[in-house]
Amino acid sequence: MNFFQWQRDAKRKTQRLLLLMFITIILLSIGIYFLIFFVFWFAADTQLMHVQGGMPWFFSWEFYLLCLVVVAAVITVGSMTKLHKLSAGGFTVAESLGGRLVTANTEDFYEKRLLNVVEEMAIASGCGVPDVYLLENERGINAFAAGYELDDAVIGVTKGCIHNLTRDELEGVIAHEFSHIIHGDMRLNIRLIGVVFGITMISEFGEHLLYARDDRNRSWLLGGGLLLLGFMGMLAASWIKSSICRTREYLADASALQYTRNPDGISNALKRIGGSQVGTLLNAQRASEVTHMTFGRCTSRFATETFASHPPLEDRIRKVEPKWDGTFLSPLKTMTDQPETETSPSESVLAVNDTVMLAVSKQQPTLPFKDKAEFKQTVMQVGVIKQDHLAYAKTLLKSLPMPVITAIHDPLQVHLVMMALLFDQDEDEQIKQLAIITKAYSDNTTAVAVQQMATYLVSFSSQDLLALLEIAKPVLKLMSLMQRTQLNNCLFALAKADGKLCLFEWALLAMVKHYDNKWSETYRAGSLKKSVDLAMVAEDIQIIIAAICQISQMPKPQQLTCFAAAMQQLSLQGEIPSTLSFGRLYKALQQCTQLKLDDKESLIETCSDCIAFDQSVILSEVQLMRVIAVILECPIPPVVYQHEPVKAF
C-alpha cells in the first residue's frame, strides 16, 4: 500500500464514523423520547393524557421527530464548534494537553535528540518537518500526532518518553507517529474528538438541568436522565473509537518496524512502558479527549478491552517480536546532558552503503535508473519509507557543518541559511546579491554572514538544499509576518539578481510561498473545500505536463509525443501551451491541490511517466517532482541513487 491507498482507507473509516454517529444520534433520541415520557408520567402531568385523534400526543411521530432533531442539533453544533477550534492546526491539541513548543535552538540534550530524530524521519518520508511539542508535566511514556494536513501536523511527546527511552526506542515511537501522519489517521482522529465532544453535550445539558430544580421536580428528573443517557453515549463513543482505532495501532507499529528496520526500537519502547509504574498515563485534564490519538492508553489502564482504544500491550509486543519471553524492561535512569554513545544498527551500515546519497558531489547530469518502471516505482512509493531513505536523511544531517546546524535551528539566524541557498557561485553575481542583502537588512553584517554561510553549502546537491528548507520550516514559522515578508522579498530579489530564474531557484521560492500561505492567519486546515476532477483543471494540467516536457531536454518531437501520451493517459485533450512561465506553473499547481484523491494519484503517476519517458532522469526533473509533491501534499521520499548527486548551480 502507498499514501493514496492509506488515504482511501482513512476515508472509508470516516464514512464508517459518520454512520456510527448517526446510529448513536438515533439511539439517544429514542432514549430521550422515553425519558420525557417517564418525566411526565412521574410528575402525573395531565397533559400527557391529552388525546388527538384517539392517540396520546406522546405517541405521535411528530414528537419523536422533534426529539431526533433536537438531539442531532445538539450533537452536531457541539461537534462543529469543537472542530472549528481544532481547525487552526494540530498545535491546538498539543496546547490543550499542556504542551510546550520545542524550539529548534534548544540546548537541552533530550530535546535536541528528539528534534534530530523527527527531522530524520521527516526527510526520509518526504513530509515537512512538523512542530514538536513537549508535555513537560507528564511522566508517562507517550506520544501523539495531531493535525488536519501534512503541513499543519505536530508531534507531541511526553517528558517521560524522551527521558526513559534510548535513541533507537525513541526513533521507533516517532516512526509510529509518522505512520499516523502518512496514513491519514490525523484527520480522522480530529473528527473523533469532535464527535465525542458533541455527545458529551447531552450530559452537560443534563448536569445544567440537574442544578436548576423547579418545584415539581421535573428538571432534576430530566437532568438526571440526560446525565445517564450522556454516560451511555460516552460508552458508545468509546466503543466507536475502539472499533476504528485498534487495528490502526497494529499497522502503525508494523510501519515503524518497516521504516527503521530495527525491531528492537519499537518493541523495546513497548517493553519499557510495561516495566514503568506510570506506563502511558497522562495527567492532563483533557486526556480523555485524545485517548485514541496517543501511542499508548493515556487514561485508566483498567478500561475493559471492549472500550479500549489500544490493543493490549502484550499483544502489540508479540506482533513485532513473536518470540518475546514476556519480560518487560525498566525505564532508563535520567541522564544529564550526556553525549549519545549508542549506535543503531542502521547507522553502522552508512559508512559502506553506496546507495546513500552523499552530500559532497561532482557534476552528474543523468541519474542512473535502469528504465522507466524503476523511476516510476520510486516516485509512486508515496508515504513508504525504506531503509535507504532513512539512511540518506541521517547522512545528510550528519554531514551538515556545525555553523549551518546552529543557524538553521535559530530564529535569529535561519534567514542567513535561506539566503545562502540562493547565493550564486559567480563572483560578479555575488556582488549584486551582497548589495541586495545590504539594502534589504540595512547593514553589511548580514551580507557578510550570508556569504560565509554559502561557503558551507557549495558542495551540497539541490535535493539536499531543498531538504534544508524542510528542516528550517518550523523555525521560519516562528518568524513574524513582517520578518517573513522581508525575507521572502529578499529571496525573490536574490533569485532574480542575474536576470533569470533557474528551476532550483523557482523550486525554493515556490515551496517558501506554499508554506507561507499555510501560515496565514486566515488559513484554516479543517475548512470545507470543494473537490475538483481532472477535467475541471485540464488547462492547469496541460501547463504542468508541458513544463515537465520542456525541462526534460528531450528533442521537440519527442516532447510532443510525451505530452500527447500523458494527456491520453489522463483522458484529457489539449496542446502544449505556446508560452510557459514559472508563475503560470505555480498557479496551475495551486489549482490542482483540490483534486480528488484518485485524480491526484493519477496526476502524480502521469508526471512520473513523463519524466522517465525518454528512459533517462535528470536532476532538474527530480527538483520539479519535489515541488509538485510538496504543493499537492503527497509525501514522496527523497530519490536515492548510487551515483553522486548534481550541484544545485
How far are the Cα atoms of 262, 269, 321, 357 from residue 318, in angstroms, in the given order?
15, 13, 5, 35
Pairing mode of beta strands 131-135, 154-158 = parallel
Measured distance CA(159)–CA(97) in Å, rounded: 13
What is the residue-wise DSSP string for 273-336?
Answer: HHT-SSTT----TTGGGGTTTBSS--S-TT--TTT-SS--HHHHHHHH-TT--S---PPPPPPS
- In 241-282 the beta strands, taken as DSSP E runs, fall at none
Residue with cell 535559530: 410
Measured distance CA(187)–CA(12) in Å, rounded: 12
Measured distance CA(336)–CA(352) in Å, rounded: 33
126-129: long-range contacts, CB 8 A cutoff, minimum separation 24: 126/382, 126/383, 126/629, 126/634, 126/635, 126/636, 126/637, 126/638, 127/153, 127/178, 127/181, 127/182, 127/635, 128/153, 128/470, 128/473, 128/515, 128/630, 129/470, 129/471, 129/473, 129/474
- Residue 646 φ/ψ region, left for φ over 0, alpha for ψ in the -120 to 50 degree band, beta for the rest: beta
Contacts of 528 (CB under 8 A, 6+ apart): none
User: CA torsion 426→431→436→438, rounded to 10°?
Assistant: 130
Residue 593: which of 636, 631, 542 has the closest Cα? 631
Any catalytic annotation for residue 601? no
At residue 38, what is the residue type? F
- In 142-291 the beta strands, taken as DSSP E runs, fall at 143-146, 154-158
How far are the Cα atoms of 406, 407, 476, 511, 568 from residue 417, in angstroms, in the given order?
10, 7, 11, 15, 43
Query: Which position among 169, 177, 289, 470 bears the catalytic label?
Result: 177
- At how many degrees (to 10) do helices 185-210 and 61-86 cross? 120
Reduce the DSSP state of residue 524 to 3 states and report it: coil
φ and ψ of 145, to 5 deg: -120, 135
Measured distance CA(490)–CA(423) in Å, rounded: 12
Which residues are identified as catalytic? 177
